[in-house]
Structures are given as C-alpha cells and as structure tokens.
Amino acid sequence: MKYTESISNVIEQDKAEKISRLIDQSSRILITTHLSPDGDALGSSLAFGHYLSRKGKNVRIIVPNSFPYFLKWMPGSDNILIYEYNKGAGQSIIENTDLIFSLDYNIPKRVGEMAGFIEKSQAKKVLIDHHLEPGKIYDAVVSHPEIASTSEIIFRLLMQWGEYEKMTFEEAECIYCGMMTDTGGFTYNSNDPEIYEIISLLLRKKIDKDRIYSKVYNNYTEDRFRLLGFTLSQRMKIYPELHSALIWLSKEDQSQFKFSKGDTEGFVNYPLSIRNILFSTFIREDDALVKMSFRSQGSFPCNQFASEFFHGGGHRNASGGEFYGSFEDAVKLFEESLFSYAEQLKNRDI
Ligand code: 5GP
Ligand code: MN
C-alpha cells in the first residue's frame, strides 16, 4: 500500500484543478497572509511559496506586519516582505502580479491597510483558508473550517496534485510548524486521525518534529519568561461562577519586561489549565488599540463573543478582536460582555 492512500481527498477535484490551471497561466504569484502572522499563517505561506518556486514561478510573500522571533527560523522567512516597513514595494508587487493567494484568512480586512490594494488588483485571486464565512472577491475558494490548520489544507492540496513524492524537506517543515501551532502542539482541535497520518508522511521527509517544537515553544527569552510569571501571578482575575479567567497587560507592564513582538503569544491559553476554567481572555494594551484574545474549551463560542463585542472573529475555541478606546474601558466592556453571557457560562457543559 502506498503511504499516501490513507489521506482522503477533501478538496473538491474541480477546484483543485481550477487552481492548478490558474497557477499554470501565471508567472508572477503573490502569497499574502493575515495581520500578526502566526505559525500557521507563515507555515502555509512559506510551504506553498517553496512549492511554487520549485514549479519555476516568480513568487513573493507579503505579510502585513512583523512576526515573532520564534518563527524566524522557518526556511524562507528572510525573504518575506513586511508591508508596514516597505509599503511602496508592497503596493508595486500587488499591482504587478498575475495571481494572488490569500492564505489563512477569510476576508481582505484581515490584512489591514493592504486590503484595498488587493481588492483593486487586476490579478486573479484564490482563497485557501479554514475560517468561517469566506469573502466574495475570489476566483476560487478552498474553505475548510473543519480542518485544524491552513497548512494541513496546503498539504492535502499538494497531495491531490500528486506532489507528495517531490515535496521537499523545507515544505514539510513549514507545513508541520503550521499544523503544530494551530493545535497548540496537538492538544486541541486535533482529534482527526488523518492529522497523524499526515505527520507520519512529513516525518518520512526527514523533518525533526522535536526540534521544531523546541524552536517554537522552548525558546523564551528570560524577560519573556518572567513576563509570563508576572502575568499569571499579578494580572489574572478568576470568575469562578462563570468558569472564566481574565489576564491583562498594560503598556507599562509590558515595557517593564522589555516587551517585543510575540512575547505574549500563547499566554491566553494558560488559564485554561486551571480546573473548571473553560473560557479565557487576554487583554493587551497596544499602540493604537487594545488587542483582545479569547480561548475556550468545549462549545462556548469565542468567535461569537469576539464579533459581538470586539469587532473580531475567528474559530469557536480561539478568536480575537480589537477595542478602540482606553485600556480601562476595554476591561469594563469585557466584564459587561462576560456577565451578559452569564447563563451560558454558568452551565458547566458549555
Ligand atoms: P490570537 O488570539 O492568537 O490573536 O487569535 C486567535 C485567532 O482569532 C486567529 O487565528 C484568528 O482566526 C482570530 N482573530 C484574532 N484577531 C482577530 C481579529 O481582530 N479579527 C478577526 N476576525 N479574527 C481575529
Ligand atoms: Mn490558521
């Protein structure tokens, strides 16, 4: 039996073929991903970029803003254009490309300022993503909210194109990193047996999964590690009746620990380790806004909470949003919103 036979074809064949044709017809291809790119955004973009380069395409990857230091080891990450530092070059690439891939986000708004240029561009547009409610501007849409990561969708697409044998070590590393980070190291959203069939296929490409784990998760600076300790001991409030927790960090708190991009990534998950806590929120004061992150266990819909109160969205168990106003008002609105969900949150089976 071929190793690859255990993976089912989830992407409709006609879509896979259409995207393949669009690629064949294009020579300059642009890959874009969402604001504050995470492991899956970068993993899917870099893996797909490596694949397209291998096919002889002229490929660029643009991300709206910078990404955390613990993802900078990813092969190809040095060649990513960061739009906020290089807007002119970014706009010119968007205007002069034949095909644009939008990976790991559902609507143009999720790339911030770049959105308008992408919408205006004459290029063909393809969405490959796993968020709900895909946008309507695309020539082809591969949208699978039931799949844990966009990187997994990229793997499946390459497999459906018969590309597994030729898949490189770099492509496999990037795909693995995205699958790992969007499931918290395979601790949530990760009960689909095929995930492990795919991991086994990636290991056959000689990736070192233990090393990838360490590079992402065991790579704290001392300041970052102390910031985590400070947050959990000094900036956490528990709402026992509501099975909820809040952690927060003001600008001042962050500067005390020499905050740098990505330092608080993953913090929001920690309160879920507390017995009976099923909903966790992290409020972080940023430069021009207050950033909200939500995580839940079970059926509590973080994405609904984020979109109802904080202009956001995401997945049922992991979502985010924004608040425009003072940090104190963000905390106040959060508590009011939390109490408005009291009935649902009191119920232990949420
Ligand atoms: P994080 O808490 O790690 O920033 O975001 C978790 C997930 O929530 C992301 O993968 C993304 O799907 C979603 N998300 C985060 N921030 C926003 C936002 O401002 N708007 C929307 N629509 N989704 C967000
Ligand atoms: Mn993702």
pLDDT at site 5: 82
CA–centroid distance, residue 334 to ligand 2 (Å): 25
Query: 113-150 burial string, b = 16+ CB within 10 Å, else e?
Result: ebbebbeebebbbbbbbbbeebbeebebbbbbeebbbb
CB of 291 closer than 8 Å to CB of 320: yes
Ligand 1, atom 7, residue with closest C-alpha: 319
pLDDT at site 349: 65
| Two structure tokens written together for 241 | 């009746």
Q: Give the predicted TM-score (pTM) of the model.
A: 0.94
CA–centroid distance, residue 44 to ligand 2 (Å): 8
Look at residues 236, 237, 214, 234 and name the one whose alpha carbon lies nearest to residue 226.
Answer: 234
pLDDT at site 203: 98
pLDDT at site 261: 84
Series of mean pLDDT values for 10-residue runs along the chain (350 residues) = 83 98 98 97 99 98 97 98 98 98 97 97 98 96 98 98 98 98 94 98 98 97 97 98 98 95 94 97 96 95 97 93 97 98 84
Tell whether the torsion through CA atoms of 262, 251, 320 and 266 is positive or negative: positive
pLDDT at site 1: 55
CB of 338 closer than 8 Å to CB of 239: yes
Ligand 1, atom 23, residue with closest C-alpha: 313
CA–centroid distance, residue 182 to ligand 2 (Å): 6
Ligand 1, atom 17, residue with closest C-alpha: 320
Which domains can be identified in the chain, with CATH numbers?
3-217 (3.90.1640.10), 222-346 (3.10.310.30)
Ligand 1, atom 8, residue with closest C-alpha: 319
Ligand 1, atom 12, residue with closest C-alpha: 314
Best mutation site among 319, 323, 324, 334 for ligand 1 pocket (most ligand atoms within 8 Å of CB): 319
pLDDT at site 64: 98
Ligand 1, atom 15, residue with closest C-alpha: 320
pLDDT at site 347: 83
Q: Which ligand is nearest to the CA of 280?
A: 1
Cα gap 169→208, rounded to integer Å: 10
CA–centroid distance, residue 292 to ligand 1 (Å): 9
For residue 106, give the ligand 1 atom closest to its CA: 22
Ligand 1, CB cutoff 6 Å, lining residues: 131, 268, 293, 312-315, 318-322
Q: Which ligand is nearest to the CA of 267?
A: 1
Cα gap 246→253, rounded to integer Å: 16
CA–centroid distance, residue 126 to ligand 1 (Å): 21
Q: Which ligand is nearest to the CA of 33?
A: 2
| Phi-psi region at 138: left, alpha or beta (left = phi > 0; alpha = psi -120 to 50) | beta
pLDDT at site 3: 76
